[in-house]
Amino acid sequence: MMSEEHRIPRHVAIIMDGNGRWAELHGMERYEGHTHGIEPIRIVLRTAARLGVQYLTLYAFSTENWGRPANEVRALMELFCRCAINEMPELKAQGVRVRVIGDRSHFSDEVRHRLEELEDGTRNGTRLTLVLAIDYSSRLEIVEVARELARMAAAGALDPEAIDEQHFADALWTAGMPDPDLVIRTSGEQRLSNFLLWQASYAELYFPEVLWPDFGEKEFVRALEAYAQRDRRFGLVKNTTHNVD
Ligand code: FPP
């Protein structure tokens, strides 16, 4: 039996998939699906905070998403800016701290400024950390760590033989955060798509069929219940101390 404190995941990460299909189903332009993806974020955030989840990471824009049609990319960037402005008071009231992970170098000045403002404005939040993965690529994140460690080794500041998992964890964009316990991807797709590949090594994966704009409190609670029923072993054989990995 798992102990009670393991029943609520400390960190939930979500791949919010299916916005385009939802929009098409409702006779809308694909990009409008993303606008309808905001309300589920509000609901999940409120529910997560209420139930004691401490970190909520949302995959809002992958590095690959730059390849989408220009009007969709523009709509998403406008949405980020609009939400950063409009949601700030509510996020602060709820004790939410926002942290953005991703490349950032391709953002317009406006997007970079709004996201920094959101991070700064919410920095005193202690109840829940909302991590927005924007222009995020897990492989790029890992490559950047390798570059940084190589630079340190070349400068004589780090012995290559001493490099261990902790060095990597400490140099990732997620430094200081616990690994996700539960990764949810909506819309029935069962892939990680370059999301938190290092961090999700031991995460439970959950793939509801529902499209993201239709994801609500009921679906989120169902995901947490499924998580609570799973027996996490972290590579250990149950009831023994033998490591099988
Ligand atoms: C995937 O759906 C979803 C995205 C690429 C974007 C998700 C972004 C939001 C919901 C807005 C987030 C806003 C903030 C402020 C965090 P898709 O278009 O790939 O759907 P499809 O698989 O049906 O085509």
- Give the pLDDT of residue 5: 52
**Which atom of ligand 1 is found nearest the CA of 58?**
16
**Ligand 1 contact, 195 CB (< 6 A):** no
> Taking residues 54-62, what's their average pLDDT?
98
The terminus-to-terminus CA distance of the chain in angstroms comes to: 22
- Give the pLDDT of residue 38: 98
**Is the CB of residue 65 less than 8 Å from the CB of residue 23?**
no
**Which atom of ligand 1 is found nearest the CA of 80?**
15
Here the tokens at position 113 are 């400024």
156-173 pLDDT tens trace: 999 999 999 999 999 999
**Is the CB of residue 118 less than 8 Å from the CB of residue 84?**
yes
CA of 59 to the centre of ligand 1 (A): 8
Instruction: Please name the residues in contact with 213: beta carbons below 8 A apart, sequence gap of 6 or more.
Output: 18, 19, 22, 33, 36, 37, 39, 40
- Give the pLDDT of residue 234: 75
Q: Does pLDDT of 4 surpass 90?
A: no
Burial class (CB in 10 A: 0-12, 13-18, 19+), 207: middle
Nearest Cα neighbor of 63 from 6, 143, 128, 171 is 143
**Is the CB of residue 46 less than 8 Å from the CB of residue 216?**
no
> Taking residues 218-239, what's their average pLDDT?
85
In the sheet with 204-206, reading across from the earlier edge strand, the strands are 96-101, 128-136, 55-62, 11-15, 182-185, 204-206
- Give the pLDDT of residue 242: 47
11-228: CATH topology: Undecaprenyl pyrophosphate synthetase (3.40.1180)
Phi/psi for 212 (5° steps) reads -50, -45
- Give the pLDDT of residue 241: 47
> Taking residues 75-91, what's their average pLDDT?
98
Q: What is the CB neighbour count within 10 angstroms for residue 118?
A: 24
- Give the pLDDT of residue 170: 97
Mean pLDDT of the chain: 94
**Ligand 1 contact, 102 CB (< 6 A):** no
- Give the pLDDT of residue 6: 59
Give the start-to-end residue ranges of the domains of the chain: 11-228
Mutational test site, ligand 1, from 15, 17, 134, max ligand atoms within 8 Å of CB: 17
Q: C-alpha angle with apex 91: 86 to 94, nearest 5 degrees?
A: 145
Q: Does pLDDT of 1 surpass 50?
A: no
Q: Does pLDDT of 14 surpass 60?
A: yes
> Taking residues 115-126, what's their average pLDDT?
98
Which one is predicted more confidently, 45 or 231?
Answer: 45
**Ligand 1 contact, 130 CB (< 6 A):** no
- Give the pLDDT of residue 233: 73
Q: Look up residue 48 and give its amino acid.
A: A
- Structure confidence at residue 232 as a pLDDT band (50, 70, 90): confident
CA of 54 to the centre of ligand 1 (A): 23
200-203: long-range contacts, CB 8 A cutoff, minimum separation 24: 200/13, 202/232, 202/234, 202/235, 203/13, 203/179
Here the tokens at position 95 are 């004790």
The pTM for the full model equals: 0.93
Quick one: DSSP state of residue 236? B
> Taking residues 79-102, what's their average pLDDT?
98
- Structure confidence at residue 196 as a pLDDT band (50, 70, 90): very high
- Give the pLDDT of residue 245: 47
Phi/psi for 224 (5° steps) reads -65, -35
Rounded Cα distance between 228 and 230, Å, is 6
Q: Which residues are catalytic?
A: 17, 65
CA of 20 to the centre of ligand 1 (A): 7
Which one is predicted more confidently, 5 or 68?
Answer: 68
19-52 pLDDT tens trace: 999 999 999 999 999 999 999 999 999 999 999 9
- Structure confidence at residue 194 as a pLDDT band (50, 70, 90): very high
Q: Does pLDDT of 174 surpass 50?
A: yes
